[in-house]
Amino acid sequence: MAATLVRGKNVDIRMWTRPDEVEEFALRQLQNISALPWAFKHVAVMPDVHYGKGATVGSVIALRDAVSPAAVGVDIGCGMTAVRTSLTASDLPDTLRGLRSRMEATVPVGFGQHKATAFTDRDASDWSTFWKRFDDLTPAVKARADKAMHQMGTLGGGNHFLEVCLDTDQRVWVMLHSGSRGIGNELAQHHIAVARTLAHNAELPDPDLAVFLSGTPEMAAYRHDLYWAQDYARRNRAVMLRLVCDVLRAEFPHVAFEEPISAHHNYVAEENHFGEDVLVTRKGAIRAGRGELGIIPGSMGTGSYIVRGLGNPDSFESASHGAGRRMSRTKARKTFTTDDLAAQTSGVECRKDSGVVDEIPGAYKDIDTVMANQSDLVEVVAKLKQVVCIKG
């Protein structure tokens, strides 16, 4: 669909969904974002848009010489990784509970962490250099080095997941969703708090939209820590993917893996749009430059998409990061039961207990509608349906 233009305060808002389908609080947030004096061109709103802390989830914001840490989110570098295997559905056992159990035993979930560090030279060759950079992060997180090391290669909780999927050709895929874990969250919270104290943010309509300005020590400190956390998130997914692939290698010695696809959807990038160099924050959005591969997941019972970007300039070459929530976790827990969860995840080997009712498919927007609304942003490469889903 073509974007709907909504009049903003300083810049306009382009929405790849109907404005009447966006919750009131999210619309108010988008208007606050459009009022930022550093905003460039317009605010791009993805079809999975929903309310978030400070900045709306599903928003792409280009700023001149400024960046808002809340427009990145507190899980810096959160994103997706997927890989297609040589296995087919016929290779999988009739019951997948054992495979799920072995994966859960290998990749810690929720608040769990590895007893011994899990990263190896098979994941990257420069771990020593990477961890030395930890010493240069803000002193506020210096005591977290050991925890960060042991959380490298862990899933987390909430909407993070690890899945085994089948595409329409019955090929097996591994797909996972996670970010920079506790260390990224702590860095984000620290810098959001710093930004709120700066004088140039005093008159903003929402204090959580506070920005750092180029050329200031606060901006330099944030960007240093931000890029390290984004790298942590990318490495975290790579370590998990290798661990899961090792489980499959033990189970299916003949298995082979193609080149993984990996994409952040909570991050900052230095990009050129409409002839100007700007800082682009994607909070709940992936980059979808022409020809670039991306991953757009649905909920734990509905399936996901591998996509190729079309490079639409009006979206700042972006697309949605998933289906997007249509109700809060609290409302989902009040609305649905474990019986509803079991029914909506029928055929998927996964948790079906009260601890994940807030992740029930019914709490999310319809992924196929989301995809239809962004047909001018991405083209579909493959549609996947999960057969195993692991959540924290």
Is 300 annotated to bind a ligand? Reply is: yes
Confirm or deny that 324 is annotated as ligand binding. yes
Catalytic residue chosen out of the listed positions 50, 191, 264, 321? 321
- Specify whether 321 is catalytic: yes
- Please name which of 321, 303, 339, 299 lies closest in space to residue 378, comparing C-alpha atoms: 321
Spatial separation of the C-alpha atoms in residues 162 and 279, rounded to whole Å:
31
321 is in an annotated binding site: yes
**Gap between the Cα atoms of 226 and 189, Å rounded:** 11
Q: Annotated binding residue at 298?
A: yes
What long-range pairs does 252-255 form, CB within 8 A, spacing at least 24?
A: 252/87, 252/91, 254/86, 255/85, 255/86, 255/87
128 is in an annotated binding site: no
Cα angle, residue 180 at apex, residues 178 and 186 outer, rounded to 5°: 135
163 annotated to bind ligand: yes
Rounded Cα–Cα distance for residues 29 and 11 (Å): 14
Per the annotation, does 391 bind a ligand? yes
- Does 75 belong to an annotated binding site? yes
Q: Is 177 annotated as a binding residue?
A: yes
Instruction: With CA atoms as reference, report the closest residue to 73 among 54, 45, 48, 60.
Output: 54
378: β partners: 309
323 is in an annotated binding site: yes
Is 150 annotated in a binding site? The answer is no
Alpha helix positions (H), the chain: 24-34, 97-106, 127-132, 145-151, 181-196, 217-251, 329-335, 338-344, 367-373
- Cβ-contact 33, 43 below 8 angstroms: yes
Q: Is 304 annotated as a binding residue?
A: yes
> Annotation-wise, does 48 bind a ligand?
no
Residue 131: closest CA among 113, 145, 121: 145
Within 10 angstroms of residue 299's Cβ, the number of other Cβ atoms is 26
Known binding residues: 75, 159-163, 177, 265-266, 297-300, 304, 321-324, 391
**Residues with catalytic roles:** 321
Known binding residues for GMP: 159-163, 265-266, 297-300, 304, 321-324, 391
Known binding residues for Mn(2+): 75, 160, 177, 265
